[in-house]
């Protein structure tokens, strides 16, 4: 798979959202991981326009990320604004 454990750790470290060395469950970490996967699938779909299975998976990932962002906005608005700014997400 294109996303092994080392790559995930690199994403978590690069985004700077780790609260602990083994943090992979925080909302910020999950949003960063979903953003990486969404960007990867978007590039794939630019080449393969008729790959409808991948398109469905992409839409599900976008929905999951949206729900996590909504949760974070309700829970702690400062963390929400920080992750929106760091990942260059529109909202």
Beta strand segments in the chain, E = none
Stretch 33-50: mean pLDDT, rounded?
95
CATH code at position 55: 1.10.287.10
Residue 14 falls inside a structural domain: no
Place 1 in a pLDDT band, splitting at 50, 70 and 90. low
Stretch 58-75: mean pLDDT, rounded?
96
Instruction: Judge whether residue 91 has pLDDT over 80.
Output: no
- Please give the angle made by the CA atoms of 50, 31 and 11, to the nearest 5 degrees: 90
Instruction: Judge whether residue 13 has pLDDT over 80.
Output: no
Boundaries of domain holding 59:
26-87
* The predicted structure's pLDDT at residue 16: 62
Residue 70 falls inside a structural domain: yes
Residue 31 falls inside a structural domain: yes
Residue 18 falls inside a structural domain: no
Residue 54 falls inside a structural domain: yes
Kindly give, in sequence order, each residue whose CB lies less than 8 Å from that of residue 89, ignoring residues fewer than 6 positions away: 35, 69, 83
Instruction: Judge whether residue 18 has pLDDT over 70.
Output: no
Stretch 9-27: mean pLDDT, rounded?
75
Looking at residue 19, what DSSP letter applies?
A: S
For the chain, what is the domain count?
Answer: 1
Residue 10 falls inside a structural domain: no
Lowest mean pLDDT among 40-49, 67-76, 81-90: 81-90
Element (H, E) at 14: helix 5-15
* The predicted structure's pLDDT at residue 69: 96
Residue 55 falls inside a structural domain: yes
Task: Confirm if 35 and 89 have CB atoms less than 8 A apart.
Answer: yes
Residue 20 falls inside a structural domain: no
Task: Confirm if 66 and 90 have CB atoms less than 8 A apart.
Answer: no
Task: Confirm if 72 and 27 have CB atoms less than 8 A apart.
Answer: yes
């Amino acid at each position: 798979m294109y996303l092994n454990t080392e790559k995930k750790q690199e994403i978590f470290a690069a985004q700077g959202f780790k609260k602990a060395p083994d943090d992979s469950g925080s909302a910020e970490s999950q949003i960063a991981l979903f953003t990486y996967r969404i960007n990867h699938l978007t590039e794939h779909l630019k080449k393969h326009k008729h790959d409808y299975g991948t398109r469905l998976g992409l839409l599900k990932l976008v929905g999951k990320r949206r729900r996590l962002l909504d949760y974070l906005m309700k829970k702690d608005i400062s963390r929400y604004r920080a992750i929106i700014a760091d990942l260059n997400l529109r909202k």
